[in-house]
Amino acid sequence: MSDSLDKSIMQAAAVLRLAKSVCMLTGAGVSAESGLRTFRGSTADHLPEHLKKDMSALWKEFDPTTLATPEAFAENPELVSCWYDWRRLGCLAAEPNDGHIAIAKLQDQLAKRGGSLTLLTQNVDGLHQRAGAKDVVELHGSITRWRCTKTQRTVVPEPKPFAKFPPQSEFGGLLRPDVVWFGEQLPQEAIIAASDASQTCDVFMTIGTSAVVFPAAGFIHVAKRRGVPVIEVNPDDTGATKVVDIALRGRSADILPRLVEAMIAL
């Protein structure tokens, strides 16, 4: 690691050491090293060699931002549900990486010191929870849970492909992934939790997100406007970089374990 990165990690660790309530926003980049494709840019650049080849495989033909809409589902429920079921099975087969594990450890460490970490994720893969993180706020829902288009009742399908597409619900509608598509409102309870945390935290961390999707990215700016220090972990600049106080340029699975160890050692 470069000296300047080491120095920035120590700076961020000192900020976290004094923190009482941390609000953290994560995005697809945190799951990149679990082998899950991000939405924008090419994740493959930041992947360990053995994963690179799979990354640019099937997704080239699908643009997630056009498929993640109610209009796409209405027009072609078979394609959209098949694509989501393929992603769902990928998420179930993936394992949390060292970045997910470090976040759960940080949340535990803060709780032990009488503090808290509110984890807001844009990810729908459930990997934070599988790494041990608690009370995860899923701003964009969950791909492991599907919802009847007629009754809105949710089900958790078995860990195997649907038999046919689009899958029928037993309640008379179609089954769709219980995720928030573009143009759809975020769950009310998630908005309330995220608004509360970004308005009361004393440190904000943005990790593995390009910070271009709203209202999720807006919570970074809510904290910034209150003068709260903002720490970013990302190999690249993002839509939030101009309001970031400490930018840790690198992969979350590398940086987060070092950051948490440095904070504990202080």
- List contacts with ligand BV8 (CB under 6 A): 27-29, 32-33, 38-41, 43, 46, 64, 68, 122-124, 140, 179-185, 208-210, 212-215, 233-236, 238, 251-252
Q: How far is the CB of 57 from ligand BV8 (least distance, A)?
A: 17
Judge whether 254 and 229 are in contact, CB under 8 Å.
Answer: no
Reading phi first (left if > 0) and then psi (alpha if -120 to 50, else beta), residue 188 is in alpha
Q: How far is the CB of 122 from ligand BV8 (least distance, A)?
A: 3
Nearest residue to ligand BV8, by Cβ distance, number only: 29
DSSP 8-state assignment for residue 174: B
In the residue annotation, 221 being an active-site residue is answered as: no
Q: How far is the CB of 140 from ligand BV8 (least distance, A)?
A: 4
Nearer of residues 64 and 115 to ligand BV8, judged by Cβ = 64
Residue 204 phi/psi, 5-degree rounding, is -120, 135
The Cα 213–Cα 226 span in angstroms is 21
One-letter amino acid at 253 equals A
Nearer of residues 196 and 236 to ligand BV8, judged by Cβ = 236
Q: How far is the CB of 134 from ligand BV8 (least distance, A)?
A: 20
One-letter amino acid at 77 equals P
Encoded tokens for 260: 């948490």
The Cα 122–Cα 186 span in angstroms is 10
Nearer of residues 50 and 112 to ligand BV8, judged by Cβ = 50
| Catalytic residue selected from 46, 100, 128, 140 | 140
Nearer of residues 13 and 28 to ligand BV8, judged by Cβ = 28
CB atoms within 10 A of CB 150: 11
Residues marked as catalytic: 140
